[in-house]
Amino acid sequence: MSDEGESSGVDATAGGRPEEAGSLGRSDPSATEVSRTAGGDGGEGGDGAVTDDAIDEIAFLTRSPVRVRVLDSLRRRGTVGKRELRERVDGVRTTVSRNLNALVERGWIEDTPDGYEITDCGRMIVDDLMALTESASLAVELRPALRWLDVERLGLDLRQFERADITTADSTNPYAPVEEQVALIQRSTAVRAALPAVNRQILQACRRTARTDDGEVEIVLESAAVDRLRSADRYAELFADVRRQCTVLEYDGTLPYYVGATAEGVQLGTTDGDNLVRVLLRFDVDDDVRAWADDRFERFEQRAHTVEERE
């Protein structure tokens, strides 16, 4: 059955707290800094102390992607000739040659009759160097998301985020995360979602999915959002229909983030002070993430009750 009169695009949200300056899952990036020290307090002297020479060597190795890729190739493959190395690091011949010479000069690799090999000194650092570059790549990818997500509050291992598809709101499409929310609901037959903010499109998608064969939708909304949906003329009729088609629970408190779970996967998101979803992470089916999502949703359920009918 089709929903007549359903609008396209994304309208303003009807979630709770429209007047508040703060919102859900919000976190000041400056307040969640994580410091890591090497060698205890990082002062001069002592075993494992961070020295200027050590910092200079790290800067030398990471200044050129070619150097990092060369060390990684030699770590994994043993002895490698110059031509093969050039193909593997995808570099210009003169650039590769220059970096190979620099690595040999500093003792990270050696030039043997059979090809280039990593030295013992190189082996000592290469694993940590690759771990650092992988962590940096993840941090760069997650930087837009971590601006809005309170990681400590989530209780989810950041490494799980490596497999997530990230959609952020930006000036070109501020509603991109909301569109992803709607698309997930529309593609699924069974949906469980805790929604800090909700708009017409999400409600329509929930109603449409609930009407399909074997459709089953359960949503948790904050009390403030429920009151607003009931009292606003533009939402009241639609919300009443959604309550008839779906299981709608009223949450006594503030939902810290959005979590949606379907057979297809899990979504995680957070909103800003205007109740606009700023970032959305989508995880494919994964036992660990699924268990986390189920646990979080059940926690919300325990503090929620069925929306009661009103005269």
- Tell me the pLDDT tens digit for each residue of 138-147: 777 777 666 7
- Radius of gyration of the chain from its Cα atoms, rounded to whole angstroms: 26
Angle at 214 between CA 208 and CA 219, to 5 degrees: 55
Q: How many residues does this entry show for the chain?
A: 311
User: Lowest-pLDDT range, 47-51, 54-58, 213-217?
Assistant: 47-51
Instruction: Please list, in sequence order, all residues whose beta carbon lies within 8 angstroms of the beta carbon of residue 49, skipping any fewer than 6 positions away.
Output: 39, 40, 42, 43
Look up residue 13 and give its two tokens.
């949200």
Residue 107 has pLDDT above 80, yes or no: yes
| Residue among 232, 284, 274, 297 nearest 10 (CA) | 274
- Looking at residue 307, its pLDDT comes to 87
| Chain segment 235-280, per-residue pLDDT in tens | 999 999 999 999 999 998 889 889 999 888 899 887 776 677 788 8
